[in-house]
Structure 1
Amino acid sequence: MVSGIATMNSTILDVFQRQPADPVRLPLLRPLPATLIVAVYLLVVLKWGPQFMASRKPYNVRKAMLVYNLFQVLMNLTLFVLAFYYMFVKQSYDLRCMILPSDHPDKGVERLLSYSYFINKILDLMDTLFFVLRKSYKQITVLHVYHHALMVMATPIVVHFYGPGGQYSTMGILNVFVHAVMYAYYFVAALHPQMKNKLWWKKYITKLQIVQFVILFCQAILTVWLNPTCNVPMPLQYLQVAVSSSMMAMFGNFYYQTYVKVKSKPE
Structure 2
Amino acid sequence: MNNSTKFFDVAYQELAFFPEADPRTDEWLLMDSPGTVLAICGMYFLVAWKGPRWMEHRKSFEFPRLLFWYNVFLIFLSFFISYEFFVVAYQDNYTLWNCQPVVTGNSPLAMRMTSTAWWYFFSKIIELLDSIIFILRKKNNQLSFLHVYHHGTMPFFCWISARYVPGGAKFIAGGLNSAIHVMMYSYYALSAMGPEIQKFLWWKKYITKLQLLQFSIVILHSLRALCLRPCSFPKLVNLFVVFYTGTFLSLFANFYRMEYLKKRQRIKEHKQ
Query: What TM-score do you get using the length of structure 2 for normalisation?
Result: 0.85
Aligned twin of 1:126 = 129
How far, CA to CA, are the matches of 2:211 and 2:154 in structure 1?
13
Query: Shift of residue 197 of structure 1?
Result: 4.7
Once the two structures are TM-superposed, the CA of residue 104 in structure 1 deviates from its matched residue by 5.7
Which amino acid in structure 1 is aligned with residue 154 of structure 2? M
Deviates more, 1:20-29 or 1:50-59: 20-29
**Paired position in structure 2 for 1:254:** 255
Which residue type is aligned with residue 35 of structure 2?
L
Q: Is the CA contact 1:61–1:130 (under 8 Å) kept in the aligned structure 2?
A: no
What is the aligned partner in structure 1 of residue 46 from structure 2?
43
Equivalent residue runs for 1:186-201 within 5 Å: 186-201=188-203
Whether contact under 8 Å (1:84, 1:173) holds in the other structure is: yes
**Contact 2:60 2:138 (8 Å CA) reproduced:** yes
Letter in 2 for 1:184: S
**Do 2:76 and 2:182's aligned partners in 1 also have CA atoms closer than 8 Å?**
yes
| Pairs within 5 Å for 1:220-239 | 220-225=222-227, 227-239=228-240
The gaps in structure 2 that reach 5 residues or longer are 1-16
Shift of 1:119: 1.3
Query: Is this contact kept in 2: 1:73–1:183, CA < 8 A?
Result: yes
Question: Quick check: 229-238 or 250-259, which moved more?
Answer: 229-238
User: 1:81 and 2:83 equivalent?
Assistant: yes
* 1:138 partnered with 2:141: yes
Q: Which moved more, 1:73-82 or 1:98-107?
A: 98-107
Assess if the C-alpha contact under 8 Å between 2:212 and 2:252 holds in 1. Answer: yes
Measured against aligned partners, the alpha-carbon deviations of 1:93-112 in whole angstroms (never above 9, x if no partner) come to 23322224322622211121
Q: Which amino acid aligns with 1:61?
A: F
The match for 1:166 is 168
User: Aligned to 1:99, which of 98, 101, 109?
Assistant: 101
Which has the higher mean CA deviation after the structures are superposed, 21-30 or 122-131?
21-30
Tell me if structure 2 keeps the 8 A contact 1:76–1:177.
Answer: yes
User: Partner amino acid for 1:246?
Assistant: T
Question: In 1, Cα distance between the equivalents of 2:69 and 2:158?
Answer: 26
Per-residue CA shift, 1:184-203, capped at 9, x if unaligned? 00001111334435412110
Q: Which amino acid aligns with 2:116?
A: L
Contact 1:20–1:159 (8 Å) recurs in 2: no
Contact 2:168 2:233 (8 Å CA) reproduced = no
Among all aligned residue pairs of Structure 1 and Structure 2, give the percentage whose two residues are the same amino acid. 31
Question: What RMSD over aligned residues (CA atoms) do the two structures have, in Å?
Answer: 2.0
CA distance in 2 between counterparts of 1:185 and 1:191 reads 10
Name the residue aligned to 2:8.
none
Shift of 1:91: 4.0
> Take 1:118 and 1:74, find their aligned partners in 2: how far apart are those partners?
16
Cα–Cα, structure 1 residues 19 and 241, in superposed 2: closer, same or farther, change >3 Å? Answer: closer
TM superposition shift of 1:158: 2.4
Equivalent AA in structure 1 for residue 148 of structure 2: V
Cα offset for 1:19? 5.0
Partner of 1:204: 206
Alignment of 1:111 with 2:80, yes or no, is: no
State the match for 1:27 in structure 2. Answer: 29
After TM superposition, what 4+ stretches of structure 1 lie above 3 angstroms from structure 2?
none
Q: Secondary structure at the match of 2:192?
A: helix
Give the deviation of 1:23 after TM superposition: 4.5
Aligned residue pair count: 249
> 1:45 Cα deviation (Å)?
1.9
CA drift at 1:92: 3.6
Is the counterpart of residue 219 in structure 1 residue 253 in structure 2? Answer: no
**Aligned position for 2:10:** none
Q: Contact 2:173–2:218 at 8 Å: present in 1 too? A: yes
The one-letter code matched in structure 2 to 1:133 is L
Q: C-alpha distance in 2, partners of 1:80/1:158?
A: 16
**Conserved in 1, the CA contact under 8 Å of 2:215 and 2:248?**
yes
CA separation of 1:259/1:198 partners in 2, compared to 1, >3 Å: closer, same or farther?
Answer: farther
Structure 1 residues without counterparts, runs of 5 or longer: 1-14
**Rounded Cα–Cα distance in structure 1 between residues aligned with 2:39 and 2:202:** 38
